[in-house]
Structure 1
Amino acid sequence: MNKQVLIAGGGIGGLATAIAAARSDWDVRLFERAAQFSEVGAGIQLGPNVIRCLQAWGLQRPLQQVIASPTALRACSAVSGQELGRLPLGSEIVHRYGAAYATIHRADLHSLLLAALQQQSQVHLNLQQSVLSYTDQEGVITIRTDAGKLIEGDALIGADGVRSAVRAQMLGDGPPRVTGHLAYRAMVHQAQLPKRLRTGEVTAWLGPQLHAIQYPVRRGELQNLVVIVSGPAPDDLDHWDHSANLPDLLQHLKGVCGYLQDLVQHVPEAGGEWRLWPVADRVPLSSAAQMAQGLVALVGDAAHPMRPYLAQGAGMAIEDAAELQRALSMHDLDVSLRLRRYALNRWQRNARVQERSLRNGRIFHATGPMRWGRDLSLRALGGRIMDVPWLYDGEN
């Protein structure tokens, strides 16, 4: 009889974990608080390290139908509009790392993972049920849901996001920290933009105390836009996704180049709407015990929420799931030892990505001499700075 894993959370991390567990010959029961599986309209960058995980799960063909394949990663000055550095992508990245660099609509990745799961007979998806708490006793994990149900399993994986209830019980370390950064996000139809505002590249616009990212998704039909600025976050992070005021955003962008201001102002005309996220994170991991204890483990934002300045939040959740698959497949080990092995193999890499994301945030938003030094370095070294071999190769 197969062992049973209980998974809290039906986002990308939860679905990836469910795929991984099913491929390890575990029965899966996944619990999602929403009434239906869905994702908001935002984009995700998938480095070669993440693409390789998805390919290993047999998802290359459905991926190819929905991704965009940007031709380059560019860094530009948000003030002058000048290009500072460029890293060619496409075939060069495939040759170097064995997989592509792709961009994807978050909803498309979510749908792709969900479709793969629905083909697995040993996976049971439970909507409108949140995991509120658990007990870990005598080799059995028992969860209590908000529907009042008690359900037993052999392991519990918390994939329930930055405000994880599973983490709260396991670590008791309080809410995530507010970073003081706000992310304005929009998704637009490229065909409804003037040609000069369309893109087939990933461009990071770097300015003092702000930066913006633009890139294509969904075969290039849509463009994802993100502008991150310094500012106070709403008091209630549980209601983080709400309509943003375009005039407020334009106030933040007073000193930026005409191209970027035009792009931001064209969002409503191109079928988009600015929405606002306060950016939250946690201090980088410092031990394996922060990712697994007993019969409970954490993945993705529940374990290591990070600032979006290395574009690896979803990627690290998928990598977590791939490593969890290897651990759950060690059938000669007790479950607690398998989860411990998973955590030991993941925490240092996740911590490094968290730390690099923090560092990138300081660089992206630099002012004064640090900003001048950043721009000079990018002009001199370009792609050598923008490439991240340890990340894309999958090393710690």
Structure 2
Amino acid sequence: MKKQVLIAGGGIAGMAAALGASHAGWDARLFERAAVFSEVGAGVQLGPNVVRRLQAWGLQKALQQVAAVPQQLVARSALSGRVLASAPLGQSMVERYGAAYVTIHRADLHAVLHSAAQERADIYINPGQEVTELLGTERVTTIRTSANKVVEGDALMLADGVWSKLRAAVLGDPSRPRVSGHLAYRALLPMADIPVGWRSNEVTVWLGPRMHAVHYPVRRGEMMNIVVIVEGPVPQDLEQWDHAANAQVLEQALADCSSNLQDLIRSVPAAGAQWRLWPLSDRAPIQGPDAMAQGLVGLIGDAAHPMRPYLAQGAGMAIEDAAELQRALAMDDLDIGLRLRRYALNRWERNARVQARSIRNGNIFHATGPVRWGRDLAMGMLGSRLMDVPWLYSGEGSSASTL
């Protein structure tokens, strides 16, 4: 009889977990609070380490139909606008790491995963049903849903995000995610509404004191995703992550920045589009495998290791988690608890390293004074060597192969 994993959460992490379990020969029952599956947000960058995993699930063609493949990564000074360094992407990444570096709208990535899950007969998707209670996690896992249904499975994966309501019951950790003090303003514009000089097939990062901006193409290059992250007061209702943002407040925050960057920022309201505001929260880098699995219950993605976006690997680490989950669940000679333990052992160090590097990158991106001058000098001297991340892009997901 086939084993069955229950999955709490239907976002990118949950869909990826379901695909991983299915490819391991398990049934997967996924429960999502929303009545209609959708993924809000803006753009996502996927390094070759992530694209290789999507290819392994047969999703290369679906990905190509919705993603963009930037040809270059460019870092600029947000104050002067001058280029600090650049690095090739495109075919160079394929040659070095076996897959492209792609940029994609979060909703499109979710749709690719959702469509793939719907096509598999052993994945059962249950919208409008949130997992509200863990009734037992010893010999089997038993849950109760918001529809008052009681469901049993052989294992349970928590994929309910940074504000997971179930995490504390599994880990015995009642702490809330920590507030970073960083606010992300996000917008999405048709490429035709972008100032002509910035219509490009590049990832451009602007580095400034206590802020940075990034923009890149999505949806086959037809649209541009723009993100500006500034340090400032954080709204009280953190769990309501998507807010209507005031364009004037953002423009004031960038008053000392390059006129080119300011023109790009002003193009958003000029096109009739809105900035959306996302206060960033995370947790400290995880300290061991117990943070990713306990007994018959595992955690995946932001439920386990929420991270700041300064390495562009939040969604990527969730997909890597799912690929490792697939390998672990397929170990039929091991008890299920040992399979999840193996999953956690092979993932926690890499996730902790990415969390720590993301925090470090944020400090470098937002540096002030002599640290900022040293950063700019180093980027000018070392260029693409500083912008490449071989340990990340070539890693196979386990601690043994990446640390």
- CA-to-aligned-CA distance 1:107-137 (integer Å, 9 cap, x gap): 1111111110111111111111111221334
Amino acid at match of 1:20: G
- CA–CA distance in structure 1, aligned partners of residues 33 and 254 of structure 2: 37
Amino acid at match of 1:323: E
Structure 2 residue ranges without an equivalent (≥5): 396-401
- CA–CA distance in structure 2, aligned partners of residues 342 and 362 of structure 1: 31
SS at match of 1:36: coil
Tell me what 1:104 maps to: 104
SS at match of 1:223: strand
Tell me what 1:147 maps to: 147
SS at match of 2:166: helix
SS at match of 2:136: strand
- CA–CA distance in structure 2, aligned partners of residues 53 and 268 of structure 1: 38
Q: CA deviation at 1:90?
A: 1.0
In the alignment, structure 1 residue 332 sits paired with structure 2 residue 362 = no
| Contact preservation (8 Å) 1:28, 1:124 | yes
Amino acid at match of 2:56: A
Give percent identity, aligned residues only: 64
SS at match of 2:34: coil
| Contact preservation (8 Å) 1:187, 1:224 | yes
Q: CA deviation at 1:101?
A: 0.6
- CA-to-aligned-CA distance 1:335-377 (integer Å, 9 cap, x gap): 1000000000000000000000000000000000000000000
SS at match of 2:287: coil
Change (3 A) 1:154 1:191: same
| Contact preservation (8 Å) 1:136, 1:142 | yes
Amino acid at match of 1:212: A
- CA–CA distance in structure 2, aligned partners of residues 271 and 322 of structure 1: 40
SS at match of 2:372: helix
SS at match of 1:237: coil
Quick check: 46-55 or 124-133, which moved more? 124-133
| Contact preservation (8 Å) 1:41, 1:187 | no
SS at match of 1:238: coil
| Contact preservation (8 Å) 1:212, 1:225 | yes
Amino acid at match of 1:259: N
Q: How does 1:262-281 map to 2 (within 5 A)?
A: 262-281=263-282
Q: CA deviation at 1:271?
A: 5.0
Q: How does 1:193-232 map to 2 (within 5 A)?
A: 193-232=194-233
Structure 1 residue ranges without an equivalent (≥5): none
Tell me what 1:2 maps to: 2
Tell me what 1:26 maps to: 26
Amino acid at match of 2:205: A
SS at match of 1:52: helix
Tell me what 1:389 maps to: 390
- CA–CA distance in structure 1, aligned partners of residues 390 and 136 of structure 2: 40
- CA-to-aligned-CA distance 1:73-111 (integer Å, 9 cap, x gap): 111100000000001011111111111111001111111
Amino acid at match of 2:71: T
- CA–CA distance in structure 2, aligned partners of residues 137 and 303 of structure 1: 18
SS at match of 2:81: coil
Tell me what 1:77 maps to: 77
- CA–CA distance in structure 1, aligned partners of residues 93 and 267 of structure 2: 32
Amino acid at match of 1:241: D
- CA–CA distance in structure 2, aligned partners of residues 297 and 278 of structure 1: 27
RMSD: 1.0
Q: CA deviation at 1:145?
A: 1.5
Tell me what 1:113 maps to: 113
Tell me what 2:63 maps to: 63
- CA-to-aligned-CA distance 1:24-49 (integer Å, 9 cap, x gap): 11111101101111111400000000
Question: Which contiguous aligned blocks of 4+ residues in structure 1 show a shift greater than 6 angstroms?
Answer: none
- CA–CA distance in structure 2, aligned partners of residues 250 and 21 of structure 1: 46
| Contact preservation (8 Å) 2:285, 2:355 | yes
Q: How does 1:275-294 map to 2 (within 5 A)?
A: 275-294=276-295
- CA–CA distance in structure 2, aligned partners of residues 168 and 138 of structure 1: 17
| Contact preservation (8 Å) 1:10, 1:159 | yes
- CA–CA distance in structure 2, aligned partners of residues 180 and 18 of structure 1: 34
| Contact preservation (8 Å) 2:177, 2:281 | yes
- CA-to-aligned-CA distance 1:40-60 (integer Å, 9 cap, x gap): 140000000000000000000
Give the TM-score, by structure 2 length. Answer: 0.97
Tell me what 2:95 maps to: 95
Amino acid at match of 1:2: K
Give the TM-score, by structure 1 length. Answer: 0.98
Change (3 A) 1:195 1:170: same
Amino acid at match of 2:153: G
Tell me what 2:46 maps to: 46
- CA-to-aligned-CA distance 1:233-277 (integer Å, 9 cap, x gap): 111222110110001101110110011111111113335310000
SS at match of 2:346: helix
Amino acid at match of 1:90: G
- CA–CA distance in structure 2, aligned partners of residues 16 and 39 of structure 1: 13
Q: CA deviation at 1:310?
A: 0.2
- CA–CA distance in structure 2, aligned partners of residues 41 and 236 of structure 1: 17
SS at match of 1:339: helix
- CA–CA distance in structure 2, aligned partners of residues 393 and 193 of structure 1: 34
Q: CA deviation at 1:192?
A: 2.1
Amino acid at match of 1:121: A
- CA–CA distance in structure 1, aligned partners of residues 258 and 369 of structure 2: 18
- CA–CA distance in structure 1, aligned partners of residues 310 and 149 of structure 2: 40
| Contact preservation (8 Å) 2:74, 2:87 | yes
Tell me what 1:184 maps to: 185
Tell me what 2:370 maps to: 369
| Contact preservation (8 Å) 1:136, 1:295 | no
In the alignment, structure 1 residue 351 sits paired with structure 2 residue 382 = no
Amino acid at match of 1:184: Y
- CA–CA distance in structure 2, aligned partners of residues 207 and 137 of structure 1: 48
